Structure 1
Amino acid sequence: MSRFDELLGTDFDGQPVSDVEDVIYEALDDPRHRERVPGLVDLLNDRVAGERERFLACVALTTWAELAGFDAVIDAARDPERAPWYDILIDRKFSVDNTFAQLALAVSDSDVLAREKQTWARRTEAFRSLVRIADHEYFDEKLGDLLDTQTVVDVLPDIRAVVARGAASLAGRRPQRFDLATQLVDLAAAVATVDAATAVSLAQDVLSHDAGHRAFVHAVAIVQRAKTPETRQFADYLSTVGDDGVRTQVKQALG
C-alpha cells in the first residue's frame, strides 16, 4: 500500500475507501485523525510527491484545522501560480485554476476543529490570504458565502481593499479570465450582516463598472441579508437598472 493510500485512502478502521473526501470528513468526528497528521505534513512538504497527493494532503490538514494546513494555504496565496498544485483542477466554465476554491472550502470546514485545537487565529489568516487574491484568482462562487461573521469582521479591511482593486480593474476594461464582477459582489454581500452600508457601497462600486446580469442577481443577496435604509435604497437601484428577473428577485427579497 502506498503512503498516500495509508494516509487518505484508508478509513480509521483500516478499510480502503474509494473517495478521499470520505476520510477527510470522517475525521471531523474521529480524533484518530491526529495520528495521520505527521505523515500528511511530510507528504505535503515532499517535493518529489505528486501534485495531486500534496494538494489533497493540504486539503486534509486544512480541513482538520492543523497549523501546517493553514500555513500551506497562506504560502500558496503569496504566489498563486507557483503553488505546486496550481492548475491540477480546472473550472469547466472558465478554464481557469479551481484549487483555491477548494482550499477556501477546506478553511471554512475547519471551523469546529479550529476552536477545539485553538488554531482559529491562523484560520483567520488563511481566509485573509485568500480574500487578498480574490481580484485575480477564481473561487467558483464560494469564497463570499464561506466567510463566517466573525471572520468577515476580522478581514473587512482586506475585503474593502480587494474589491477596490477589482473594481479598478473592471473600470480599466482589463481582460478578465473569469466573472470577476460577480466574485466581488459576493464578497460585498458577505459584509451585509456586519456593515450593510459598506456592503452596498462595495457592490455599487463594482456594478457601476460591470452591468452583467449574474452580478446583479448575486447583489440581491445584500437586500436579503440586511434590512436597513441603505439596503432598501439599494433595492430600488437594482430594480431600476436590473432586468425583469432581477426585479422579481428584489421583490422576493423584500418580502
Structure 2
Amino acid sequence: MAESTRSGEPDEKIVRLLFTDFDGDRADPDDVISDGLDGGYADRTEALAAILRDPDEGPYERFLACLALTRWGDALGYAAVAEAASDPAAVDWRGASYDRLHTQDDTFALLAEAVGDSADMVEERATPEARVRAARALLAIADRVQFDRRISALLRRDLLSACLPALRDAVDRGVRRLAEHERLGFDLGVQLALMIVAARAVDPGWAAAAAGRLALAEPGERALRELRELQEPGGEEPGGA
C-alpha cells in the first residue's frame, strides 16, 4: 500500500497483527506482509482470519486482513476476494484505501496485486486453484472497477490461459462502455489495453482484433500508447512470465 492512503486510526488488534513486525516494532503493513512470507504468516493467520470473518470488525481492518491472507496464499483470502468481486458495489471496505494520485478507491487494485504476487505461496499452501478463481473473478469486473496498472499482476502467463474467457468478456464489455461514452470515473482504456497486450501471448488473433476495436472507441492516449506494443515484436508482457 506504499502508494495508497486511508483515513482514521486502525483497531488495536490489526495494529498488533499488521502494524507490528516480527521483532515487536512498529512497521508498515506492506513490510509485515512481506516479512511474513518467510514463515511468520503462520503465527498471525488464525487471528487475521477471525477478523476477516467477523462482520463487527471495521471495514478497513477486514480489508487489511483480506489483503494479508491473500498475499500469503491463504484459501480464505482468495475466497473473500472472489466473493467481493461478485458484487463490488456492495463491499463495505470500498474506499478503505485510495490512490493518492487520483484520490480514487484502489482496494480491488491492491487485492489484484496480492493475488498475482502470491504465486510464490500457492504450492506451500496448496491453493493454486483458489488463486485462479480469485484472479478470474477480478478480471471479470475489470470493465467496471478501477485497477489501473496494478491489473498487470493478474496478467502473468501462469494465469492468462485459465482466465482468458473472463478477460475477453470484460474487454468486450469495456470497449462497448467506452464506445457509448459512459462516464466511469477512472481510466478504463488503459486497463483494457494492458489486458489486450497481455492476451497476445495466448491468443494473438483475438488480441489484434480487440486492439482495433479499442482504438476505435477512443480510449485515451495512455491506452493508445499501450496498444502500440502490439506493433512491436518482442515487447515486454505486462505482469512478467
Give the Å deviation of 1:224. 4.0
Other-structure match for 1:25: 34
CA offsets per residue over residues 98-145 of structure 1, 9 Å max, x none?
Answer: 111100011112111012212011101101011000001000222135
2:18 corresponds in structure 1 to 8
Bigger RCO (CA 8 Å, 6+ sep): 2
Instruction: List gaps (5 residues or longer) in structure 1.
Output: 228-255
CA separation of 1:145 and 1:2: change in aligned 2, threshold 3 A: closer
- C-alpha separation in 1, matches of 2:233 and 2:91: 35
Name 1:125's counterpart in structure 2: 133
What is the CA distance between 1:6 and its match in structure 2?
A: 2.4
CA contact (8 A) 2:113 2:153 kept: no
Q: Does structure 1 residue 152 correspond to structure 2 residue 160? A: yes
Q: Do the aligned residues in 2 keep the contact of 1:181 with 1:207 (CA within 8 Å)?
A: no
| CA distance in structure 2 between the aligned counterparts of 1:112 and 1:191, rounded to whole angstroms | 22
Q: What amino acid is the match of 1:169? A: R
Match in the other structure for 2:99: 91
**2 CA distance for matches of 1:145 and 1:200?**
22
Contact kept, 8 Å, 1:145 with 1:190, in 2: the verdict is no
Query: Could you tell me which residue of structure 2 aligns to residue 188 of structure 1?
Result: 196
Change (3 A) 1:225 1:178: farther
- Deviation of 1:94 (Å): 4.4
What SS does structure 2 have at the residue aligned with 1:110?
helix
- Normalised to the residue count of structure 2, the TM-score between the two structures is 0.87
Pick closer, same or farther for the CA change 1:60–1:85 going to 2, 3 Å: same
CA distance in 2, matches of 1:55, 1:75: 13
Structure 2 residue 201 is the aligned partner of structure 1 residue 201: no
**Residues 145 and 6 of structure 1, relative CA distance in 2, 3 Å threshold:** closer
* Root mean square deviation of aligned Cα: 1.9
SS in 1 for 2:148: coil
CA 114–2 in structure 1, closer or farther in 2 if over 3 Å, else same: same
Give the residue type in structure 2 aligned to 1:12. F
How far the C-alpha of 1:51 sits from its partner, in A, is 1.7
Match of 1:169 in 2: 177
Residue type at the aligned position of 1:148: R
Which protein shows a greater Rg?
1
Task: Identify unmatched segments of 5+ residues in structure 2.
Answer: 1-10, 236-241
Distance 2:117 2:224 in 1: 28
* Superposed displacement of residue 40, structure 1: 0.4
Percent identical across equivalent pairs? 36
Q: Distance in 2 between matches of 1:224 and 1:37?
A: 44
Q: How far, CA to CA, are the matches of 1:52 and 1:109 in structure 2?
A: 21
Q: What is the total number of aligned residue pairs between the two structures?
A: 225
